[in-house]
C-alpha cells in the first residue's frame, strides 16, 4: 500500500507541475555558416554587497516616470564565444543580454546564461559608454551572475523587495530585446502568478519565480522587472516556448542573497538536504490526509544524502528548519542558500498526522 501511495503521489505531482519547454531568453547570434540557430548566453562578475543600494520608494509613479528612473541603470551586455566549425576553423558566436548596475563600484547583476562560457563580455551603458567586463561569480542553479566594469558616474538601480508582491500588480520589464538598436525596450504587464517553479533537469529546479505577462524576449535576460515606483523586484530570466505571454523573473529577495555571496566568495555555498521538494497543495493535502495547508512534501529521497541518513521518508511534510518556518519550496531554497554545508540543523516535519523532528548535517550538492 505504501508503494501504491507513493506512485499516486508522483502521478499527482507530475500532473500538477507539468510545464512546457522552458527557454532562457538571451539573444544570441551565431556568425557561423554551419549553424544559424540562436543560443544561450552566460557570464558572471564581481559585486560589493555593502555598497548595493536598497532604496524604498513609497510613492507610485507614472509609467513614464518609473521608466525614466530605471533606464539609466539598465545596461546592454554583448558577449562573444569562440568555437570550432566543421573544418576546425575558429568561429565567433555573439550574443546580447541585459543587466542592472548594482553600485558605484561597477558591479552589474545579470543572468548566468547570458555570460557563461563567454570569451569576452562588453557592457554598454544608457549614455553610450562601453566597457569590458570581468566575471566576479555565477550561480547556475539560480541563473544569476555578477560582472564588474571600471567606470565613473554610474547610476545604481533601486532594489525593492519581493516579499509582499501581489498577483495583478502592475510591473515593467526593461531590457535590450532582440538586440534592437536605439536603447532598451520597455513593456508593461502584471504579475500573473507568484511562487512558480520550473525544472531545469531531473535534480535542479528554479523556485519562487515571478510569472508575468509583460513582454520578455531574447535579449531581455538579466534585465529588471520593476514596480511602478521604479524599484527592481525581479530579474527576467526565461519564457515558455510557444506560450502566449508567459515569462519568469527571479525574485529580487533571493537575488540579493545570491549576489551577496557571489561578491564575497565568487560562488554560492548552499547546503543540501537530499530531497525533491513539492509545495503542499489542496489536492495533495486531501490525498495524503495532511494536517497542514503549507509546507514542503518530500517527493523523493536521494540515497546516501542527509535526508535518507536521518530517516526522512517520501510523503513526509517539512514545516520548519531550525526555527525558520518552511511554507513552500521557496522558503526551503532561501534557507539552504543561507546555510552552508557542514551546518547541523533540526528538521520539523509531519509523517501523516504525527509531528516529528530529526537532526541532520547539511552536505554539498551533488
Judge whether 336 lies within some domain.
Answer: yes
| Residues lower than pLDDT 50 in the chain | 2-3, 7, 10-11, 14-21, 30-58
Query: Which of 223, 247, 265 is the C-terminal boundary of a domain?
Result: 265
- Asked whether residue 6 is domain-assigned, the answer is no
Instruction: Assess whether 40 and 167 both reside in one domain.
Output: yes
Give the domain-ending residue among 265, 297, 328: 265
> d(Cα 20, Cα 279) in Å, to the nearest integer?
19
pLDDT at 3: 47
Q: How confident is the model at residue 236, as a pLDDT?
A: 93
**Residue 19: predicted pLDDT:** 44
pLDDT at 229: 93
Q: CB under 8 Å to 203, separation ≥6 — which residues? A: 276, 302, 366
List, in order, residues 6 or more apart from 313 with CB less than 8 Å away: 298, 301, 351
In a domain? residue 2 = no
Q: Is residue 154 part of a domain?
A: yes
Q: Residue 73 has what DSSP assignment?
A: G
pLDDT at 46: 38
What is the pTM assigned to this prediction? 0.74
Q: How many residues does the chain have?
A: 366
Range of the domain at 352: 269-361
CATH assignment at residue 290: 2.30.42.10
Active site members: 113, 143, 221
Residue 221: which region, alpha, beta or left (left: phi > 0; alpha: psi -120 to 50)?
Answer: beta
Whether 4 maps to a domain, the answer reads no
> How many other CB atoms sit within 10 Å of the CB of residue 235?
29
Do 73 and 153 have their domain in common? yes
Amino acid at each position: 500500500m505504501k508503494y501504491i501511495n507513493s506512485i499516486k503521489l508522483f502521478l499527482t505531482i507530475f500532473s500538477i507541475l507539468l510545464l512546457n519547454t522552458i527557454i532562457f531568453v538571451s539573444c544570441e547570434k551565431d556568425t557561423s555558416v554551419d549553424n544559424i540557430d540562436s543560443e544561450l548566453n552566460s557570464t558572471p562578475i564581481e559585486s560589493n554587497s555593502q555598497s548595493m543600494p536598497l532604496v524604498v520608494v513609497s510613492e507610485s509613479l507614472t509609467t513614464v516616470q518609473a521608466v525614466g528612473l530605471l533606464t539609466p541603470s539598465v545596461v546592454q551586455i554583448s558577449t562573444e564565444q569562440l568555437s570550432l566549425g566543421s573544418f576546425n576553423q575558429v568561429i565567433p558566436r555573439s550574443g546580447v543580454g541585459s543587466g542592472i548596475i548594482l553600485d558605484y563600484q561597477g558591479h552589474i547583476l545579470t543572468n548566468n546564461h547570458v555570460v557563461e562560457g563567454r570569451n569576452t563580455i562588453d557592457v554598454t551603458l544608457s549614455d553610450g559608454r562601453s566597457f569590458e567586463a570581468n566575471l566576479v561569480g555565477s550561480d547556475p542553479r539560480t541563473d544569476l551572475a555578477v560582472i564588474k566594469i571600471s567606470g565613473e558616474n554610474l547610476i545604481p538601480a533601486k532594489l525593492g523587495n519581493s516579499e509582499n508582491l501581489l498577483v495583478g500588480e502592475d510591473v515593467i520589464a526593461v531590457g535590450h530585446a532582440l538586440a534592437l538598436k536605439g536603447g532598451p525596450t520597455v513593456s508593461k504587464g502584471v504579475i500573473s502568478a507568484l511562487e512558480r517553479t520550473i525544472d531545469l533537469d531531473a535534480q535542479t529546479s528554479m523556485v519562487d519565480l515571478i510569472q508575468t505577462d509583460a513582454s520578455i524576449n531574447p535579449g531581455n535576460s538579466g534585465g529588471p522587472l520593476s514596480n511602478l515606483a521604479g524599484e527592481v523586484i525581479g530579474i527576467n530570466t526565461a519564457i515558455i516556448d510557444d506560450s502566449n505571454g508567459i515569462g519568469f523573473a527571479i525574485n529580487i529577495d533571493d537575488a540579493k542573497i545570491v549576489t551577496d555571496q557571489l561578491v564575497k566568495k565568487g560562488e554560492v555555498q548552499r547546503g543540501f538536504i537530499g530531497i525533491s521538494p513539492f509545495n503542499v497543495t489542496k489536492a495533495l493535502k486531501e490525498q495524503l490526509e495532511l494536517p497542514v495547508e503549507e509546507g514542503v512534501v518530500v517527493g523523493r529521497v536521494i540515497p546516501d544524502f542527509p535526508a535518507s541518513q536521518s530517516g526522512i521518508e517520501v510523503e513526509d511534510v517539512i514545516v520548519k528548519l531550525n526555527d525558520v518556518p518552511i511554507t513552500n519550496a521557496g522558503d526551503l531554497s532561501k534557507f539552504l542558500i543561507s546555510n552552508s554545508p557542514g551546518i547541523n540543523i533540526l528538521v520539523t516535519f509531519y509523517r501523516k498526522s504525527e509531528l516529528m523532528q530529526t537532526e541532520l548535517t547539511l552536505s554539498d550538492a551533488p
